[in-house]
Every structure is written in structure tokens, then in C-alpha cells.
Structure 1
Amino acid sequence: MTNDTPAIRNKNLVLYVLAQFAEGDLAALRAALHEDFREHSPGNPSGRDAFVEFVAGSPVAKARIDVKRVITDDEYAVVHYHMIPEDDPRGVAVAVVDVWRLVDGKITEHWDVLQPVPDPDLIPHGMF
């Protein structure tokens, strides 16, 4: 696989956007989303501007994002990460899997699954 395949470009774009977003750069997120962006997660709005406004005011905007794995192909990027809000006293927060659909270098759709991270003694092989 070369370094310039659609799968590699999708991986690089999604990781760049996550890193910039974690630094508070909403412009990078806005630039990566297609204007007709579709959100599939309950309670989150669709549309680029509405989605960016929504996440800017959510706990994820101030959370630390620790990426654990990324799986990509020519159309999708799947990112599994540990999201730790700045006010989480245990530092465990949630495990997140984001599924991003990309078309022509823009994120067009998003799905996610969130799972609270339990106490370590309940996960003998680790959460991540």
C-alpha cells in the first residue's frame, strides 16, 4: 500500500481533525465536514455548522482524546479512543468508537458508540 491511497488520506484527515479539535481548533473540524454533513448519533444535530456548534459546547470539546486504534478503507475511518473529560476525577471516562464516512476528502457522515470505562478489576484484560 502506498502512502497516497484513499484509505491513508482518510486516516490522516480524521487523525488530524481529532488532534486539532482536542487542541480547541474548531476551524479544522468545520473545514473537514461537508456542508451537508449527516449525524446519526441520537441527540446530535446534522449539518456542518449545527454539528460544530453542538460539539463546541459539549464535554468532548475539553476532553483529552487518547487514540488507541484506527481502521480505514477508501470510504470509512473508524477510530477507537479513550475520552477523558477534564473534570473526571477518576480519569477513566468513556471508550468511544467513531465511524466517519468520507467522500472526496470531506467527512459526510458520523456514527458513534460510547461505553463507560468501569473499574480496572472488572476488566481483567484491559479496556483498551
Structure 2
Amino acid sequence: MPRAEANRRLLEHTFTEVAKGNIDIFRTVLREDFIEHSPGNPSGRDAFVEFIAKAPLASSKLELKRVIADEEHVVVHYHMVPPGNERGIAVVDICRIEDGLIAEHWDVLQPVPHPDETPNGMF
């Protein structure tokens, strides 16, 4: 299987599991020396998993919108709806894959505005 397709499948599987509430999936898909680039989020697999288990992601409804993959990176665009936030948040995660595991992560989050402000939609 081409590397880009394997990378895509890794992130799609991870997303599906996280959307079901399985945060522990990160223990099997992150490198032990995982590097996190988001402010306030810890690096290192175990520290990151513990952090995410308490973060809004763990209790949110997640809807995958698109996945873009190449030989080294995967970009996942999704709608995250935390409890009590009906519009939710548009999220883009960028992951660098090394030896079949997620080695690095960056993200960008944007609150979903009122539909009148986005006539073409957020997704």
C-alpha cells in the first residue's frame, strides 16, 4: 500500500476511535517521543493522552469533513461540538507520520460563526 494511503488510514482509524470516545487509541498510534506544537498541550505520548482525556475533545461530538494525506503528513478537517456549544468549532489537525506512527501534531481551531456570517458554510 502506498505510504500516503497508509497515513490516511491511520488518521481515519484514529479519528473514528476518538469519535467513539476511545481516547486510549492515542497510546497505540503516537510515538513515545511524540511532539505537540499546540500552546498549552504537553509533548510525550503519555502526557498528551492524559491531557486529552480531560480536554473538550474527549466529550465532544466529532464529524469528519475531509482528510488530505501525503508521504509524510496528514491533514484532518472536522467539526467538533462540545457539550453546550451548539455551533461548535472547526478544527484542522496536521500530523507528521514517522514509521507508521504520529510523530508530531499541530492544530488550528475556529469557532463556527452564525450561518449568516458564512453564506458558503464552514465545511
Give the TM-score band, short-chain normalised: over 0.9
Aligned to 1:124: 119
Q: Which residue of the other structure, out of 52, 61, 75, is the alignment partner of 2:49?
A: 52
Structure 2 CA distance for aligned equivalents of residues 77 and 6 of structure 1: 11
Question: How many residues in Structure 1 have an aligned counterpart in Structure 2?
Answer: 123
Q: How many angstroms does 1:26 deviate by?
A: 2.5
- 4+ runs deviating over 3 angstroms: none
Q: Which residue of the other structure, out of 16, 19, 32, is the alignment partner of 1:19?
A: 16
Q: What's the C-alpha RMSD, in Å, of the aligned pairs?
A: 0.8
Q: How many angstroms does 1:19 deviate by?
A: 1.1
**1:77-96 correspondence to structure 2 within 5 Å:** 77-88=74-85, 91-96=86-91
Give the 3-state SS of the residue equivalent to 1:14 in structure 2.
helix
Aligned to 1:35: 32
Q: How many angstroms does 1:67 deviate by?
A: 0.9
Query: Where do 5+ consecutive residues of structure 1 fail to align?
Result: none
Task: Normalising by structure 2, report the TM-score.
Answer: 0.96
Task: Normalising by structure 1, report the TM-score.
Answer: 0.93
Percent identical among aligned pairs is: 54
Q: Are the aligned partners of 2:63 and 2:78 in contact in 1 as well (CA < 8 Å)?
A: yes
